[in-house]
C-alpha cells in the first residue's frame, strides 16, 4: 500500500470525455454547494408527464424521510423505451448473448417497445394492478428485462430474485412482499448446465401460500409440470393480448422495485427504490462514469438478480438509449476466453465486471486473453468488492493493454447507483482505490464515536446527505430502515463499510465492518448462514465468519458445535455444505467447516466473533484479550483444529 502507482488520465480521454478534472471539480463543488439547483437541473435529463417544482425534501434525523422530485410524474418504461422508439426505433437496445456461443439476438428499441407492451398486457390479464408486487425469478434472457419494464409500465413493483437462490430463499422473498404473481422460465442455462427454475418455483409455492399465477417463459422447452389454473406459459398468454399498453402515470416517489439484500442480522431486507430519483441517478451515473456516448456497445456482466443488473444492465443504459449486452453464460464456458470472444463478436467498447471474475481468469494466464483482439474496448469497470492491486494491474495490462482506464465503482444495493468512482476523463487512477465521490455525494469518515475525521484517516464510511438514487425504506419496516442505517451516526447514512482516505482525498474501501461478508461480490449475512446451519438436526450451535480467499475475496468459515453424540467428519461436512446450499443457495456454501466442541463466549453468553475472525484469518497472535471468556481454554482447541485454506 505504501508505494502506489498512479495512472494519469490519457490525454485523449481528458479531451474527449464529458468531464475532465477541472470540470469535475467545478461540477462537484456546485453539486455540494447547492444540491437543489444541481439536481433540479439534472432531473431534466429524463422525461416527465408533470414537471416537478420540488427537488429535494430529505432528512436523516430525528427520523428518516427521503423524497426527491416529489410533485413530478413520469414513467420509467416510457423513459427507457417509448422515448427512444420515437427518436431511434431501429437502434439496438439489447444484444443478448446466449450461454451457447452460437446463440445471440439483437432487439431494437422498437421491438423492445412491442415486447414490453405485450408483457404488460399479459400481467394485466393476470390481474396485476398498480402497486402490486410481482416476483421475477429468471435466467439472463431478454424476457427478464421485458418483465421488469412491463411492471414499471403498469406501475407494478418488481422483486427480482437471483436464479441461484434456493426455493426456501425464494419463498421467503415471495412471502415478505406478498407477491401473488411469479414470472419464471422452464429452466435456465448456465455453463452448459440446466437450472430447474420452474421446479424451484413449485417448491417455493409449496412453502408459502398466496401465489395465484405463475407465468413461465419457455427457455429450453423442457417438459415441466404445470398446475392447472395457476401456471401458464407466457407464449400462450401473449398470443391473446394486444401489443399496445399505455404507460401508467407514476408519482416520482411511487415504488419501482424491491430487491432483497443481506444485513448483519435477521432475514434479508427488502430494499425499496422509487421511480424518478432512482432513474435520474442510474442514468446520470451510467453516462458519466462509463462516459457513455452514442455508438458505444456497453456490457455489464452482472446478473439482473442483483442491483448491478437493475441499474447498469437495464435502467441506466436503457434510459440513456444505449445498446446494452445481456449475457446468459459464465466467464469460463465453453472456454476461459469467453468474455473476450464476446467482446470481439459484438465489438464491445465498455466492459464492466467483478474482481472475482478477473481473479479467476487471471489464474488461467494471459494466453486465453491474448488469443482475442479486444481492440474495440475503450473502458473497463469493476464492481462488487475491493479489487486487489494485482488484479487491477492485470486487468489494465492484459485485458486493456494499457489503453483503457479502469473505473473501480463503489456502491451498494441501498445506494441505487455508483457513489464513489473515478470519472475516466477526470481522475488519475490508483489501483485498488475507488478514488473520489460522484456529483452530489458527501462521504465522511467517522470514528466509533461518530467524530468526523479530517485529512488522511481511516474509519467508518458514512454519507452526510441524500442523493436521488438512495433507497427509501425497507419494505414493510420503516423502523428497521432507520435503525440499520441512520441510528449509528445521527443524521448520517451508515454504509457498513470501513474506509481509508489518503492525502490526495482518495477513498480506499477496506471492506465490511459489520457481520456481512462479501463472497465473490455477493453479499451474505453471517447470521443467515448460521441459522441455516443450526436448522440441521445434528447441529447445536454455529458461528460463521469471513476469511481471505484468493479467488472469492472472502470465503465462508463456519464453526459448528454438534449435538451430543454426533461425530464431526468429512461426511458430515459434505452433508452440511449440501444442506446450506439447499437452504439458501450455492453462493452461501461454507468453504471451511470446523467442528468445535465449544465456542468462545463471554460470561454473559455472547459469542466473541472477533476471536473467531482472527483464527479464521490465521492471525493467532492478534487474538486480543481472551481473559474475559467464560472458558479461555476453548481458544486453544480452536487454534489447534483450524481448517486449512483450500
Ligand atoms: C457492498 C455492497 C454495488 C453493487 C454490487 C454489490 C462492497 C461494492 C465495491 C468496490 C470495494 C465494494 C462494499 C459494499 N463493494 N463495490 N468497488 N470496492 N467494495 O452490492 O451486494 O449491495 O454489496 O459491496 O462492501 O458495502 P451489494
Q: ipTM score here?
A: 0.99
Ligand 1 atom 19: residue of nearest CA: 385
Which one, of 365, 350, 355, 351, lies nearest residue 398 by Cα? Answer: 365
Q: Is the pLDDT of residue 9 over 70?
A: yes
Sheet containing 297-300, strands listed edge to edge, beginning at the edge strand earlier in sequence: 104-108, 92-97, 323-327, 297-300, 350-353, 379-383, 406-409
Q: Which of 19-23, 77-81, 542-546, 636-640 has the lowest mean pLDDT?
A: 636-640
Binding site membership of 13 for ligand 1 (Cβ less than 6 Å): no
> Ligand 1, closest atom to CA 495?
26
- Give residue 305 CA to ligand 1 midpoint distance, Å: 15
> Ligand 1, closest atom to CA 307?
4
> Ligand 1, closest atom to CA 414?
22
- Give residue 120 CA to ligand 1 midpoint distance, Å: 32
Residue listed under C-alpha cell 455489464: 300
- Give residue 193 CA to ligand 1 midpoint distance, Å: 28
116 marked ligand binding residue: no
pTM here?
Answer: 0.96
Binding site membership of 271 for ligand 1 (Cβ less than 6 Å): no
Q: How confident is the model at residue 628 (pLDDT cuts 50, 70, 90)?
A: confident
pLDDT of residue 2: 47
Cβ proximity of 635 and 600 under 8 Å: yes
pLDDT of residue 627: 81
534 marked ligand binding residue: yes
pLDDT (average), residues 515-520: 94
497 marked ligand binding residue: yes
Q: Which of 354, 411, 519 to mutate to test the pocket of ligand 1 (most atoms within 8 A of CB)?
A: 411
Which one, of 470, 533, 570, 550, lies nearest residue 253 by Cα? Answer: 470
C-alpha cell at 189: 442455462
pLDDT of residue 306: 98
> Ligand 1, closest atom to CA 420?
17
Secondary structure of residue 612 in the 3-state scheme: helix
512 marked ligand binding residue: yes
Ligand 1 atom 13: residue of nearest CA: 385
- Give residue 549 CA to ligand 1 midpoint distance, Å: 17
386 marked ligand binding residue: yes
DSSP state of 266: S
pLDDT (average), residues 378-400: 97
Amino acid at each position: 500500500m505504501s508505494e502506489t502507482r498512479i495512472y494519469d488520465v490519457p490525454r485523449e480521454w481528458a479531451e474527449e470525455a464529458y468531464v475532465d478534472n477541472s470540470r469535475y471539480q467545478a461540477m462537484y463543488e456546485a453539486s455540494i454547494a447547492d444540491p437543489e439547483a444541481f439536481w433540479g437541473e439534472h432531473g431534466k435529463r429524463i422525461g416527465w408527464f408533470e414537471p416537478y417544482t420540488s427537488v429535494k425534501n430529505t432528512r436523516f434525523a430525528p427520523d428518516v424521510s427521503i423524497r426527491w422530485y416529489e410533485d413530478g410524474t413520469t414513467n420509467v418504461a416510457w423513459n427507457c423505451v417509448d422515448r427512444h422508439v420515437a427518436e431511434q426505433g431501429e437502434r439496438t437496445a439489447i444484444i443478448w448473448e446466449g450461454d451457447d456461443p452460437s446463440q445471440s439476438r439483437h432487439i431494437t428499441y422498437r421491438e423492445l417497445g412491442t415486447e414490453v407492451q405485450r408483457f404488460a398486457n399479459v400481467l394485466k390479464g393476470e390481474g396485476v394492478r398498480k402497486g402490486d408486487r410481482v416476483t421475477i425469478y429468471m435466467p439472463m434472457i431478454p424476457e427478464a428485462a421485458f418483465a421488469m419494464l412491463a411492471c414499471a409500465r403498469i406501475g407494478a413493483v418488481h422483486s427480482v430474485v437471483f436464479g441461484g437462490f434456493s426455493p426456501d430463499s425464494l419463498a421467503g422473498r415471495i412471502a415478505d412482499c406478498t407477491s401473488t404473481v411469479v414470472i419464471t422460465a422452464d429452466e435456465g442455462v448456465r455453463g452448459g448446465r440446466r437450472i430447474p427454475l420452474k421446479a424451484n418455483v413449485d417448491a417455493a409455492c409449496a412453502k408459502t401460500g398466496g401465489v395465484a399465477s405463475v407465468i413461465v417463459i419457455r427457455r429450453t422447452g423442457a417438459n415441466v409440470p404445470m398446475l392447472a389454473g395457476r401456471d401458464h406459459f407466457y407464449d400462450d398468454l401473449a398470443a391473446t393480448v394486444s401489443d399496445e399498453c399505455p404507460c401508467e402515470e407514476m408519482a416520482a416517489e411511487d415504488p419501482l422495485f424491491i430487491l432483497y439484500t443481506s444485513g448483519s442480522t435477521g432475514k434479508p431486507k427488502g430494499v425499496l427504490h422509487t421511480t424518478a430519483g432512482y432513474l435520474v441517478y442510474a442514468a446520470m451515473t451510467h453516462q458519466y462514469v462509463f462516459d457513455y456516448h452514442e455508438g458505444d456497445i456497453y456490457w455489464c456482466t452482472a446478473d439482473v438478480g442483483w442491483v448491478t443488473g437493475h441499474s447498469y444492465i437495464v435502467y441506466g443504459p436503457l434510459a440513456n438509449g444505449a445498446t446494452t449486452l445481456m449475457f446468459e453464460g459464465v466467464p469460463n464456458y465453453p472456454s476461459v476466453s469467453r468474455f473476450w470472444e464476446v467482446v470481439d463478436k459484438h465489438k464491445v467498447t465498455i466492459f464492466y465486471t467483478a474482481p472475482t471474475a478477473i481473479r479467476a481468469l487471471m489464474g488461467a494466464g494471459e494466453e486465453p486473453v491474448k488469443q482475442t483482439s479486444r481492440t474495440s474496448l475503450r473502458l473497463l469497470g469493476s464492481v462488487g468488492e475491493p479489487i486487489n492491486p494485482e488484479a487491477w494491474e492485470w486487468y489494465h495490462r492484459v485485458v486493456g493493454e494499457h489503453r483503457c482506464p479502469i473505473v473501480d465503482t463503489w456502491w451498494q444495493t441501498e445506494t441505487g447507483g455508483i457513489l464513489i468512482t473515478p470519472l475516466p476523463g477526470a481522475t488519475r487512477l490508483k489501483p485498488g482505490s475507488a478514488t473520489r465521490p460522484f456529483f452530489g455525494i458527501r462521504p465522511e469518515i467517522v470514528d466509533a464515536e461518530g467524530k468526523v475525521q479530517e485529512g488522511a484517516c481511516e474509519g467508518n464510511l458514512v454519507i452526510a446527505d441524500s442523493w436521488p438514487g438512495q433507497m427509501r425504506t425497507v419494505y414493510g419496516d420503516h423502523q428497521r430502515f432507520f435503525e440499520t442505517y441512520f441510528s449509528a451516526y445521527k443524521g448520517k447514512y451508515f454504509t457498513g463499510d470501513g474506509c481509508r482516505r489518503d492525502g490526495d482525498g482518495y477513498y480506499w474501501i477496506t471492506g465490511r465492518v459489520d457481520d456481512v461478508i462479501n463472497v465473490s461480490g455477493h453479499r451474505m449475512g453471517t447470521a443467515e448462514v448460521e441459522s441455516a446451519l443450526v436448522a440441521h438436526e445434528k447441529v447445536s450451535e454455529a458461528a460463521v465468519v469471513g476469511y481471505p480467499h484468493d479467488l472469492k475475496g472472502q470465503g465462508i468459515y463456519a464453526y459448528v458445535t454438534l449435538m451430543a453424540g454426533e461425530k464431526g467428519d468429512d461426511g458430515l461436512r459434505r452433508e452440511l455444505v449440501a444442506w446450506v446450499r439447499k437452504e439458501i443457495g450455492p453462493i452461501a456454501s461454507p468453504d471451511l467447516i470446523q467442528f468445535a466442541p465449544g465456542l468462545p463466549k463471554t460470561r454473559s453468553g455472547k459469542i466473541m466473533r472477533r476471536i473467531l475472525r482472527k483464527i479464521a484469518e490465521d492471525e493467532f497472535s492478534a487474538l486480543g484479550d481472551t481473559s474475559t471468556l467464560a472458558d479461555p481454554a476453548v481458544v486453544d482447541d480452536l487454534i489447534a483444529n483450524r481448517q486449512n485454506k483450500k
